[in-house]
Structure 1
Amino acid sequence: MEFIIVTGMSGAGKSKAIDVLEDIGFFCVDNVPPQLLGRFADLQKLSGGTINKIAVVVDARGREMFRDFLSSLRSLNETVEGYKILFLDASDGVLLKRYKEGRRKHPLLGGDTLTLQEAIAAERELLHEARQRADYVVDTSLMAPSQLREYLIGTFLQSTHQAMLVRCMSFGFKNGLPAEADLVFDVRCLPNPFYVPELKEHTGLEAPVRDYVFQWPQSQQLAQRLCDLLDFLIPLYLKEGKSQLVVAIGCTGGRHRSVAFAERLSGHLQKKGLRVVTSHRDKDKPNQY
């Protein structure tokens, strides 16, 4: 099980970090009291093994409870092997500027702490030992959000391609465009199995329909060009920080050509190491034009 404890200075980018970790498959929980860290080790058992990547944020919002952080880590050692601590930091000047530009109140501001500078100083003192204990210390003072994302993906993913989830979906134009699509490809230009009596009632998931669709040279060429286009585009989307891409392939009814093409593109992307989900929106709808 992978277990990451995210901590650090308020305003240093913990919210962004937890968003990125969630995008790459971690089960994430924000603002966890240190005393409850050991309980999260039970999640893997309770989930039947489906949750094996966990990231939790433990920080100064816990106030006095955070002082038990190190003792909680000692307890965690008994249940979780090889957990990592990610500490996000930034200079006092940058933190002050970020809080002035934002609308959030610093968690330690109030009571005897009268100024933002005092709150930042108090937090830095509170987190000093956690910073010393951290496996990764990241100073975000000069980092753009995209650079932090790139760092986290490079650190916590073996393959950067896994940072993106690609959904390949088939659909029928007669039932409307899918609103969630990022890219839409139209394969109505290809011969239609609907007009072949022995194929009409079957779908692109079945070999006879699939063989019919791809027996034509233009189908083979189009499939290859779409694969080449996705191979070109996906690294660009990843570089810009996109975590999900919906590729929609449409034919008239959404049962034959589009289904076969969605399966072909999904298989190609899976071989490239991407996380891919395949769906067929209109495959089971009435087969009539």
Structure 2
Amino acid sequence: MSDAVPPPSVPPPSLYVVSGLSGSGKSVALRTFEDLDFYCVDNLPAELLPEFVRSVTRADDPPRRLAVGIDVRNRHNDLSDVPEWLAQVGSLGLDPRLVFFESGDEVLLRRFADTRRRHPLSRFGLSLADAIALERQLLRPLRALADMVVDTSDLNVHQLRRRMLTELELGLDESVSLLFESFAYRGGVPADADFVFDARALPNPHWDPRLRPLSGRDADVRTYFEAQEDVGQYVAQVGQFLDNWLPRLRSGTRSYVTVAFGCSGGRHRSVYLAEVMARHARENGWRDVATYHRELG
């Protein structure tokens, strides 16, 4: 009779499908999943969902947690078939959960005005209000199918992340949550920023035609900034300031802090600095750290 202990059973991978209205916080949700080591794909063609799951779960070291964004950017006739594709995913041994994000019309109108982004349905020549109304109609089947509906009308970025962490039981660090945000001054300073740093005095890659289409998250732009003495000095001084003052904000009543970096277009300098400072914070022991790039969507 064998005394061998059977190996512990491995739970099946988890899959969250993120959907909802444009401007309601889907990007923040996916970044939250990504920060928690989920394998994330945004704007996946809905018909490829089962094949995507088959592909990643066949890998030698498959990811255990998956998150996929599916929304109105898909072909509209595909959205009605999402229940069938979720059922196929279930037959592969996963228990997919659909999380739907929405906000009130006035909130969405204000958010699009603040960020100056185009609604994905505006390509049909619709006004913003009409595009939002059509999007609600097209996504109605997904909302009815959702395991969880989150109204973000009264939530800021921090509050949305916290709600996801608690209600989806994704794991929560009770320490202070840090958000490093980038923005363009022409769109206004973020109203909820605790610290604001102006990066407009730094060299601007916008004037390099090769770098202009890129953002501060791209390797070529990072290389450009790392070669600039002024940028290195700026990063060192801001890092020293934050290392000194952020720990003093830890208290029983303070749950989150926003550090914002602004530049002219909100694509290069501010994005680079937000990413660098977020990485610096993680390396210094801060656990709940996120980035949000307002002008990148």
Same fold? TM cut 0.5: yes
Query: In the aligned structure 1, how far is the partner of 2:167 from the partner of 2:284?
Result: 28
**Which secondary structure does the structure 2 equivalent of 1:105 belong to?**
coil
Matched, 1:246 2:258: no
Structure 2 residue runs without a partner (length 5+) = 1-12, 178-234, 259-277, 289-297
Distance in 2, matches of 1:146 and 1:20, equals: 10
Distance 1:71 1:234, change over 3 A: farther
Aligned in 2, Cα 1:143/1:26: closer, same or farther, shift over 3 Å?
same
Q: Determine if contact 2:80/2:141 at 8 Å carries over to the other structure.
A: no
Aligned residues of 1:88 and 1:140 also touching (Cα < 8 A): yes
Question: Normalising to structure 1: TM-score of the pair?
Answer: 0.57
**What is the identity, as a one-letter code, of the residue corresponding to 1:159?**
G
What's the counterpart of residue 68 of structure 1?
A: 81
- Which of 67, 86, 108 is equivalent to 1:95? 108
Q: Relative to structure 1, is the Cα distance of residues 63 and 103 closer, same or farther in structure 2, using a 3 angstrom cutoff?
A: farther
Equivalent-residue separation in structure 1 for 2:113 and 2:90 (angstroms)? 39
Name the % identity: 30
- Poorly superposed stretches of 4+, deviation over 4 Å: 162-165, 178-184, 232-238, 241-244
- Output the CA distance in 2 between the equivalents of 1:236 and 1:117: 39
Instruction: Give 1:24 shift.
Output: 1.2
Q: Tell me how far apart the structure 1 counterparts of residues 58 and 174 of structure 2 sit (CA, whole Å).
A: 25
Distance 1:103 1:238, change over 3 A: same
Residues 110/4 of structure 1: CA separation in 2 closer, same or farther (3 Å cut): same
What stretches of structure 1 of length at least 5 have no aligned partner?
Answer: 166-177, 185-229, 249-268, 276-289
Q: Secondary structure at the match of 1:85?
A: strand
Match of 1:219 in 2: none
1:40 is the counterpart of 2:57: no
In structure 1, the partner of 2:119 is 106
Contact 2:176 2:256 in 1 (8 A): no
- TM score, norm. by length of structure 2: 0.56
Supply the AA of the counterpart residue of 2:15: F
- Residue 33 to residue 161, structure 1, CA distance change in 2 (3 Å): same
In the TM superposition, what whole-angstrom CA distance separates every residue of 1:54-106 from its partner, at most 9, and x where no partner exists? 00000001132333323322322222421111100001111112112222211
1:20 to 32, 36, 46: 32
Q: Secondary structure at the match of 1:137?
A: strand
The answer (yes or no) to whether the contact 2:16–2:97 under 8 Å persists in 1 is: yes
Comparing 63-72 with 34-43, greater Cα deviation is found at: 63-72
- Asked if structure 2 preserves the Cα contact closer than 8 Å seen for 1:24 and 1:163, the reply is no
Out of 51, 54, 79, the residue aligned to residue 92 of structure 2 is: 79
Query: Which one-letter code corresponds to 1:94 in the other structure?
Result: V
Tell me which structure has the larger Cα radius of gyration. Answer: 1
Change (3 A) 1:119 1:22: same
Distance of 2:117 and 2:123 partners within structure 1: 13
